[in-house]
Amino acid sequence: MLGVSINYLAVYMRKIVLTLFLIFLFIATFAGDGKSFISLHSGVSLPTGDYSANSLDYGCFTSTGVSFGAEGVWFFWKNIGIGADVNYSLHTVDAIGLATEMVRVDQFLVDMTVRSDPYTMLTTMAGFYYSFNIKQKITIQPKLLAGVMFGKTPWQLFEPTFYLLGPSYFKTTSSRDRSFAVKPGISISYQINNCIALGMQANYTMSNMIFGFYTYDGMEYRNRRIRYLDLGLALKIRF
C-alpha cells in the first residue's frame, strides 16, 4: 500500500517541481532591490485534528505529505502589503491504520488490505501581509489569507477477508469539493543580497468540505474538517 501512494506522490512532485522551476526562470529576470517579492516554496505538510484522525466517522487517516507553491506580495504602504498565494498539498493515507480500524468495527471481517491514492488540496488565496526587521538582514512577515480550497479524496481499493461469504474487493472512487478557506502564516527571511532572500515559513490552512459518494442507498455526503500545517523553505526574489 505504501508503495502505491509513494508512486503517485513522485509523479505529482516531478510535475510541480518542473512547473515551479520554469516560473522561477521567468521571475528571476525581473529581480530588483525593493521590499515586495515573488517566492517559490516547498516543504512538508502535516495533517492535524480530524483530518488526520483514524476514525471512519469523521477522520481521513492522512499522514505527513508534501506541499509546493508560489507567492507574490506587494508592499503598498510602509510595512503593509497585499499578496496572493497558490499552494498544492498532498497527504498520503495510512492504509494500515484504515484497514485495522475497518476490521475492528466489523465483526465479520477477518482481514483487510487497502490500496489508496493521496488526498490532494489546492488553495488559491489572497490577503494582507506585514513586514518588520529584527536585524539588518533578517525580516519577519506574518500574514492572513483567505480564498478557495479545491479538495480531492483518494481513489481506494479494498480487498477484504470475511468469516463467511463476502465480496473479494470493492472500491471508493474520488470525490471533489471546493470551499472557503483561511490561512494564517508567518515567515522569517535572511537577505542574501539586494535581490534574493532565503526564508523559512509556517502556514496553517483551514477549511470545511463536503464530499459526495454514491452508495447502495443513494448519494452519501461526508463532512470533513480539513486542517494542515505546512512547514518549508522559500526562495524570495525582491522587486
Write the DSSP assignment of 83-102 as a string of letters: EEEEEEEEE-B-HHHHHHHH
**Secondary structure element (H or E) that encloses residue 235, with its range:** strand 218-238
Q: Identify whether the C-beta of residue 93 lies closer than 8 Å to the C-beta of residue 59.
A: no
Q: For residue 221, count other CB atoms closer than 10 A to its CB.
A: 10
* Residue 6, pLDDT score: 43
* Residue 4, pLDDT score: 41
User: What is the dotted CATH code of the domain comprising 2-238?
Assistant: 2.40.160.20
* Residue 199, pLDDT score: 93
Q: What residue has cell string 504602504?
A: 77
* Residue 5, pLDDT score: 44
* Residue 131, pLDDT score: 92
Domain boundaries, the chain: 2-238
| 16, 91, 158, 219 from 6: Cα distances, Å | 15, 10, 18, 31
- Per-10-residue mean pLDDT, the chain, length 239: 45 58 54 72 96 94 94 89 94 94 91 94 95 89 96 94 83 93 96 89 97 80 95 90
* Residue 10, pLDDT score: 53
